[in-house]
Amino acid sequence: MKRIVHMAGIKGFAAMALSAGLFLPAVLRAGPGRNPVIWADVPDVAVIRVGGTYYMSSTTMHMSPGLPIMKSQNLVNWQIIGYAYDRLVENEAMNLENGKNTYGRGSWASCLRFHDGMYYVTTFSATSGRTHVYRTADIEKGDWKANSFEPSLHDHSLFFDDDGRVYMIYGVGDLRLVELEPDLSGIKKDGFNDVVIPNASAVAGEDIMLKAEGSQMLKVDGKYYVMNITWPRGGMRTQIIHRADRITGPYEGRVVLQDRGIAQGCLIDAPDGRWFAMLFQDNGAVGRSPWLVPVRWEDGWPVLGQGGKAPDTLDIADNGKGLANITGSDEFNRKPGEALPLAWQWNHNPDPRFWSVGRRKGHLRLNAGRVDSTVLQARNMLTQRTFGPVCSGVTKIDVSKMKDGDCAGLIALQRIYGFAGVKMEGGKKRVVMVRVQTDPPDPARRGRPSDRIEEAESVPLSQKTVHFKIECDFRERTDKAYFFYSLDGKKWNRIGPALQLAYTLPHFMGYRFGLFHFATGIEGGYTDFDYFRVSDRIGEE
């Protein structure tokens, strides 16, 4: 019988248990909510309110299922209620086939809408080359219906106007408004299609490093507003807004927030008449974290923050449930075919032939269905977000069915990754810590750095089970991970050096914990994972 752990950080209560054996870390915080409202990677936020309930979509790019939908009653505490799609597209890049991948791509910034009793969430993808539309009458139960069309409209915002016409505004720098068919099946032939905000970045200065993008459009008191992000060279990510009396313009704009790089998102009203902006901040290696900023209106313009600053503390009570089901522990106690908890996402599209839960009772089994060269190309890596300010992930694995050339374990996943795991070579197994080291730029490589995989430490292993732990410290951008193994689950041994975590654009995602097994020699081996447990404390036995 498995021991059910009490998650660290809970004062006097056991961890909240969900169905299917999921146990949640929670931080009981008395008093007001604080920014970031989610200290984890939840970027490109789009928020709507329907009655007294808020819904938010976000970006998870190359992960499957993708395009997470979250729910809140207060804009501070959020939980995942589902995903818009199980698999974005079937191609070699999304399936990690023939050495291809789509790290940092997949689907990007989404737009969420409620119109005439129907929920819509739209996104776009360089991986598919298309604009994707998902719709459902019941956002909480899902059953999303999908269609897509060409081309891929970058950072678009879907907008239903009062006259029944439907538009998307999109682009970088020059923002273009395009009219869609009423059923959102594609761009309307002979419909409106023109740049309505040329050089949208100009309101933030002349020397711009990142031109205006991330459009979010809304209509307030008869005026049209378009929110965007831009980045003046030598400055920071900056929130700008344009407004017009007609959707086709002319638009006038201004800077509305320039504080600690908190930008890109949307405006949202509360039932009591208050207004907020949900934005995000580049939060180091943990990823891009949502910030909630109060808004007041002056002369028809939204004024964000307090004295031009986004507040650290909010005038909204925190319900004390922490990250709810955005991340969580899993004992893998479920029957075959039952859905995984919503905290889990696969790295790229999984191959259902080579993983299972319940085939061995109480275990996740990852099979090597093919041979791969590196862990980044390994199919069926199961992941979930790391979170701040500190966190740890722990697993126990049975490696008795590994084959020569197999490798399995627990990874801190990004381009600069590190993992603690087991390698089998020549019929012998070793506990290893492997990390990526980045060599300095070399003129022979056109000044580009290169990544080098290093086995930093190894220890012989003579038993069939072993425990692994990764601790992440994101306090004050420390951004370090520490790796451990245990032969009995009680005494932990540090292995390898600390890994300096780094948010890199090729992956464009905050670090994730990942469970993996892959073969470098022959296929057919497998590893059984007994559990995965997260905690919001580190440095403890």
Tell me, yes or no, whether 20 lies in a domain. no
Task: Look up the pTM and report it.
Answer: 0.93
Task: State what percent of residues in the chain have pLDDT above 70.
Answer: 93
The residue among 289, 317, 345 that closes a domain is 317
Question: Average pLDDT of 384-408?
Answer: 98
Residue 17 lies in a domain: no
Long-range contacts of 239-246 (CB under 8 A, 24+ apart): 239/263, 239/264, 239/265, 239/277, 239/279, 239/304, 240/200, 240/201, 240/203, 240/204, 240/212, 241/301, 241/302, 242/197, 242/200, 242/203, 243/300, 243/301, 244/196
> Residue 173 falls within a domain, yes or no?
yes
- For residue 498, the domain's CATH number is 2.60.120.200
Looking at residue 45, what is its pLDDT? 98
End position of a domain, from candidates 317, 341, 375: 317
pLDDT tens column, 270-285 = 999 999 999 999 999 9
Would 19 be classed as within a structural domain?
A: no
**Any idea which of 12-16, 317-321, 440-444 has the lowest mean pLDDT?**
12-16
> What pLDDT is attached to residue 448?
65
Q: Is residue 90 part of a domain?
A: yes
pLDDT score for 156: 98
- Per the CB < 8 A criterion, the answer to whether 9 and 535 are in contact is yes
Residues 225 and 347 in one domain: no
User: Do 110 and 77 share a structural domain?
Assistant: yes
Look at the chain and report how many structural domains it folds into: 2
Average pLDDT over residues 244-257: 98
pLDDT given for residue 447 in this prediction: 61
For residue 28, the model assigns a pLDDT of 46
Residue 380 pLDDT greater than 50, yes or no: yes
Q: Is 109 helix (H, G, I), strand (E, B) or coil?
A: coil
For position 251, which CATH number holds?
2.115.10.20
Whether 9 maps to a domain, the answer reads no
Q: What is the pLDDT of residue 75?
A: 98
* Pair (106, 251) in one structural domain: yes
My answer on whether 376 and 515 are in the same domain is yes
Average pLDDT of the residues in 369-385 = 97
What order of strands is seen across the sheet that includes strand 53-57?
46-50, 53-57, 66-72, 79-85
Q: Is residue 237 part of a domain?
A: yes
Measuring CA to CA, which residue among 434, 326, 342 is closest to residue 83?
Answer: 342
Residues 421 and 465 in one domain: yes
Q: Is the distance from CB of 56 to CB of 278 less than 8 angstroms?
A: yes
104 is in which domain, residue-wise? 42-317
Considering the domain architecture, whether residues 403 and 470 belong to the same structural domain is answered as yes
Is the domain of 304 the same as that of 389? no
Mean pLDDT calculated for residue range 87-93 = 98
Nearest to 134 by CA among 150, 153, 121, 124: 121
Compute CA 161 distance to the chain's CA centroid, rounded to the nearest angstrom: 30
User: Is residue 541 domain-resident?
Assistant: no
3-state secondary structure 443-473: HHHCCEEEEEEEEEEEEEECCCEEEEEEEEE
What residues form DSSP beta bridges with 432? 421, 458
Do 294 and 347 reside in the same domain of the chain? no
Same domain? 199 vs 311: yes
pLDDT of 438 reads 87
Per-residue pLDDT, 2? 37
Give the torsion through C-alpha atoms of 171, 124, 142, 62, to 10 deg: -130
Q: Indicate the residue among 317, 347, 372 that finishes a domain.
A: 317
Residue 445 reports pLDDT greater than 70: no
Partners of 276 in beta bridges: 268, 294
Residues 133 and 70 in one domain: yes
Same domain, 257 and 337: no
DSSP assignment string, 221-282: TTEEEEEEEEEETTS--EEEEEEESSTT---EEEEEE-STT-EEEEEEE-TTS-EEEEEEEE
**pLDDT exceeds 70 at position 488:** yes
Average pLDDT, the chain: 93
Examine the domain organization and report whether 312 and 378 are in the same domain: no
Using an 8 Å Cβ cutoff, are 397 and 408 in contact?
yes
pLDDT-above-90 percentage for the chain: 90
Query: Quick one: average pLDDT of 353-376?
Result: 97
- The string of pLDDT tens digits covering residues 18-55 is 333 333 444 444 479 999 999 999 999 999 999 999 99
> Is pLDDT of 11 > 90?
no
pLDDT reported for residue 31: 73
Give the per-residue pLDDT at 321.
86
